[in-house]
Chains A and B, each alone.
Chain A
């Protein structure tokens, strides 16, 4: 009997051609990542151990920047503000956009138009969004306070109030959540119709079908939006920079803005790099906690 010898994987012409194509296709991303992401990430680690103001050579200071960070009251204040903003914007954004997606999933006339309208804020530029919301939140003629006044409620000063500035920014964060809504819509359309039919045959009403079919089937999508939304809100600062510059009285000084200020206003690059690594550690820690908690509420149909 003649033994049949198969060529080893990677040694055939086809395998080599496939490998060349694979590396050809991934190389733009790989080169970009190494040059523009991995390089700066490694540099940031090194810089975090240095005192560097850009004008003179960096000076090695060991853990001094890290010690300074732990004793810096503004750092802790910014962490508190960041979590207030993050929890608020994720809770409101995830809930609101999920409800919106449920509504837009209904077979209605002009459904495409409604979806377009709801998605539109996502394509508006950040600066335009900031200017729009400065008007909506205006204490005197802003839309929100006008509506509150119609209900006999005197609206707060919003961005000029230490207590209401973060809630105002949380409200604003929902404005551009069109992408989240699109992800929910895709998820809703992926729920097998047979599950609803079976539930209906079992006598399940609207609420039971929602709670026992829609929510568990959507839980991986909700989880995805919670994780990515929280990471984005922990890092976000641009709109806050434009709208409040961290005020009043540091009430909206979030960690991203504090890093920006140290890097590009004070040019204290060592400390800014240290704060950036603190932000990275926080993002990793929060994400790990979310993954751990996800075991208790996220349902995967196929494992």
Chain B
């Protein structure tokens, strides 16, 4: 008999075989999951609901944030007062935030002690671990006219919410709270949350971008560490000198390659007198000589000197920032990176001012805020919560690494193991030159970035020249800026 002929008796997939196949297939991922990383299981020993450990409601805490420590700290701090009176009867407010599992334990402890101080205010927390999911969820809720009483806001969202009359201005509440020290906040970084003289958001965290360096790589090459005197040219020259190796072992002089991101202008163009967009984000300026010169310098550093990671090399690195793994000598990032760097022992690191250019030194101050939606039915209670959460005391209690309250920097740095000299540097930069100037914040910012980025990627791949790429960016981005005209 021909072997190609189907043997129906033997080949038939009867119900029992199909069931066995399905069970076997389903068992594989389950067994695989059982054999996975046990370290994470140990960390999250408590029952988990939606990614957040289920905590004892009477003594919330875990290994990272023991209840006893939180209680002692809470009792040692002086909590600020406001002239806004507590509600006479029970009210409930909803607080929506994006938070990781670890920080959420601390936030739950904050709420626990807050409720002790304000027994008539019930706090319901809504948490989204992903910032993108958070925005999608609350945009959908906004369409339905239902928003929380207190809501997290990324700096790039707030102007869109303000333009669409979603937020309630906070100036009256601030004026009813004499102890609310506005001078303790980075005033130059409030622009994200202001419009027409009104303040719609108050920052939770705010940090400038700094130049980080790998001290070991500098010492090995016998090159002096970067300092305040450095210029962009000197940083690029040094990046060329410190680039070595190939493949997975390659060390880059600088990382990452600048791309059309919201803070492209202050970090890479304004030191040369250029800008991506003009100040009110209504016109594209990237084709002008100053900006084109700066972009060209970086493109040369990538294509000619190969001193910054290319797109292919980024895939090689699995999109992990090479500086964090000791494979880049210099890196510009937000000051919040200090927390992560302080925990690693693989290499010696340092941080200093971003380099200056012929037109000066610029760096963005970026962070997030809490806002109060206009639809809130319990605005007074919402303010009482915001006030304590955003106070220096609140930020010290929460031990966040880049507190918007300047008075919280040193105590938090000490608690988190961040070198005091770096904490002082951050405060100095925030007070001196970090600002919102040049950072895209108006409604079209995502469209602008997503439109310009693929064009710039083609330039990074060598598929188009600098002039053509910048002209194409200008042509395609210009029509999008009409969305930034806010009435």
Q: Which residues of A are interface residues toward B (Cβ below 8 A)?
A: 53-56, 73-74, 105-107, 111-112, 115-116, 119-120, 122-125, 128, 134, 138-141, 157-162, 182, 185-186, 188-189, 191, 193, 196-197, 200, 206, 209-210, 246-250, 253, 261, 264-267
| In the complex, chain A residues whose CB is within 8 Å of the CB of B73 | none
Q: How far is the CB of A260 from chain B (nearest CB, A)?
A: 11
> Do the beta carbons of A185 and B24 come within 8 Å of each other?
no
| In the complex, chain A residues whose CB is within 8 Å of the CB of B10 | 107, 111
> Do the beta carbons of A248 and B28 come within 8 Å of each other?
no
Closest to A102 in B: B4
Closest to B458 in A: A249
A interface footprint on B2-17 (CB within 8 Å = 1, 0 otherwise):
1111111011110001
- Kindly state the separation between the CA atoms of A141 and B463 in the bound complex, as whole angstroms: 25
Q: How far is the CB of A176 from chain B (nearest CB, A)?
A: 12
| In the complex, chain B residues whose CB is within 8 Å of the CB of A115 | 21
Closest to B10 in A: A107
> Do the beta carbons of A189 and B11 come within 8 Å of each other?
yes
User: A116-B24, A191-B6, A196-B2 in contact; A266/B13 too (CB < 8 A)?
Assistant: no
- Kindly state the separation between the CA atoms of A76 and B266 in the bound complex, as whole angstroms: 34
> Do the beta carbons of A106 and B161 come within 8 Å of each other?
no
Q: How far is the CB of A99 from chain B (nearest CB, A)?
A: 14
> Do the beta carbons of B312 and A189 come within 8 Å of each other?
no
User: A116-B21, A120-B25 in contact; A107/B3 too (CB < 8 A)?
Assistant: yes
| B146 is an interface residue with CB less than 8 A from chain A | no
| CB-based closest 7 A-B pairs | A55-B164, A160-B312, A157-B312, A250-B454, A249-B458, A54-B143, A160-B315
Closest to B166 in A: A55
| In the complex, chain B residues whose CB is within 8 Å of the CB of A161 | 312, 461
- Kindly state the separation between the CA atoms of A54 and B21 in the bound complex, as whole angstroms: 46
Q: How far is the CB of B457 from chain A (nearest CB, A)?
A: 4
15 residue pairs from A and B, CB less than 8 Å apart: A56-B164, A106-B3, A111-B10, A115-B21, A116-B24, A119-B25, A138-B316, A157-B311, A162-B461, A189-B6, A209-B4, A210-B4, A249-B458, A264-B132, A265-B450
User: A116-B24, A265-B450 in contact; A106/B4 too (CB < 8 A)?
Assistant: yes
Closest to A141 in B: B248
Q: Which of B100-108, B134-142, B406-414 contacts A (4 or more CB under 8 A)?
A: B134-142
| In the complex, chain B residues whose CB is within 8 Å of the CB of A123 | 25-26, 28-29
> Do the beta carbons of A54 and B140 come within 8 Å of each other?
yes
> Do the beta carbons of B164 and A112 come within 8 Å of each other?
no
Q: How far is the CB of A77 from chain B (nearest CB, A)?
A: 9
| In the complex, chain B residues whose CB is within 8 Å of the CB of A116 | 21, 24-25
List CB contacts (< 8 Å) of B113-139 with chain A.
Answer: 132, 136, 139
| In the complex, chain A residues whose CB is within 8 Å of the CB of B447 | 266
| In the complex, chain A residues whose CB is within 8 Å of the CB of B314 | 160
Q: How far is the CB of B389 from chain A (nearest CB, A)?
A: 25
- Kindly state the separation between the CA atoms of A297 and B386 in the bound complex, as whole angstroms: 69
Contact among B7, B24, B451, B454 for A248, CB-based, below 8 A: B454
| In the complex, chain A residues whose CB is within 8 Å of the CB of B251 | none
- Kindly state the separation between the CA atoms of A116 and B5 in the bound complex, as whole angstroms: 22
| In the complex, chain B residues whose CB is within 8 Å of the CB of A200 | 2
> Do the beta carbons of B21 and A125 come within 8 Å of each other?
no
> Do the beta carbons of B11 and A107 come within 8 Å of each other?
yes
- Kindly state the separation between the CA atoms of A105 and B476 in the bound complex, as whole angstroms: 54
> Do the beta carbons of A189 and B315 come within 8 Å of each other?
no
Closest to A188 in B: B6
| B446 is an interface residue with CB less than 8 A from chain A | yes
| In the complex, chain A residues whose CB is within 8 Å of the CB of B132 | 264-265
- Kindly state the separation between the CA atoms of A122 and B5 in the bound complex, as whole angstroms: 28
> Do the beta carbons of A140 and B316 come within 8 Å of each other?
yes
Interface Cβ pair total, 8 Å cutoff: 123
Q: Which residues of B are interface residues toward A (Cβ below 8 A)?
A: 2-8, 10-13, 17, 20-21, 24-26, 28-29, 132, 136, 139-140, 142-143, 160-161, 164-166, 247-248, 310-312, 314-316, 318, 446-447, 450-451, 453-455, 457-458, 461, 463, 476
- Kindly state the separation between the CA atoms of A289 and B211 in the bound complex, as whole angstroms: 58
| In the complex, chain B residues whose CB is within 8 Å of the CB of A106 | 3-4
> Do the beta carbons of B312 and A55 come within 8 Å of each other?
no
User: A139-B315, A261-B450 in contact; A125/B29 too (CB < 8 A)?
Assistant: yes
> Do the beta carbons of B315 and A54 come within 8 Å of each other?
no
| In the complex, chain B residues whose CB is within 8 Å of the CB of A54 | 139-140, 142-143
Closest to A74 in B: B451
| In the complex, chain B residues whose CB is within 8 Å of the CB of A249 | 454-455, 457-458, 461, 463
- Kindly state the separation between the CA atoms of A74 and B475 in the bound complex, as whole angstroms: 13
| In the complex, chain B residues whose CB is within 8 Å of the CB of A267 | 139
Closest to A197 in B: B5
> Do the beta carbons of A265 and B6 come within 8 Å of each other?
no
User: A107-B11, A139-B312 in contact; A248/B5 too (CB < 8 A)?
Assistant: no
Contact among B13, B136, B139, B247 for A186, CB-based, below 8 A: B13
- Kindly state the separation between the CA atoms of A111 and B12 in the bound complex, as whole angstroms: 11
> Do the beta carbons of B4 and A189 come within 8 Å of each other?
no
- Kindly state the separation between the CA atoms of A253 and B20 in the bound complex, as whole angstroms: 40
Q: How far is the CB of A85 from chain B (nearest CB, A)?
A: 17
- Kindly state the separation between the CA atoms of A158 and B463 in the bound complex, as whole angstroms: 16
Q: How far is the CB of A175 from chain B (nearest CB, A)?
A: 15
| In the complex, chain B residues whose CB is within 8 Å of the CB of A197 | 5
> Do the beta carbons of A196 and B318 come within 8 Å of each other?
no
Known contacts A123-B25, A186-B13, A265-B132; 9 further A-B pairs (Cβ under 8 A): A55-B164, A56-B165, A111-B10, A112-B21, A128-B29, A160-B311, A160-B312, A191-B6, A249-B458
| In the complex, chain A residues whose CB is within 8 Å of the CB of B4 | 106, 196, 206, 209-210
- Kindly state the separation between the CA atoms of A161 and B7 in the bound complex, as whole angstroms: 47
| In the complex, chain A residues whose CB is within 8 Å of the CB of B7 | 107
| In the complex, chain A residues whose CB is within 8 Å of the CB of B28 | 120, 123
> Do the beta carbons of A189 and B248 come within 8 Å of each other?
no
> Do the beta carbons of B461 and A248 come within 8 Å of each other?
yes
- Kindly state the separation between the CA atoms of A162 and B462 in the bound complex, as whole angstroms: 11
> Do the beta carbons of A55 and B457 come within 8 Å of each other?
no
Closest to B2 in A: A200
- Kindly state the separation between the CA atoms of A196 and B1 in the bound complex, as whole angstroms: 11
| In the complex, chain A residues whose CB is within 8 Å of the CB of B454 | 246-250, 253
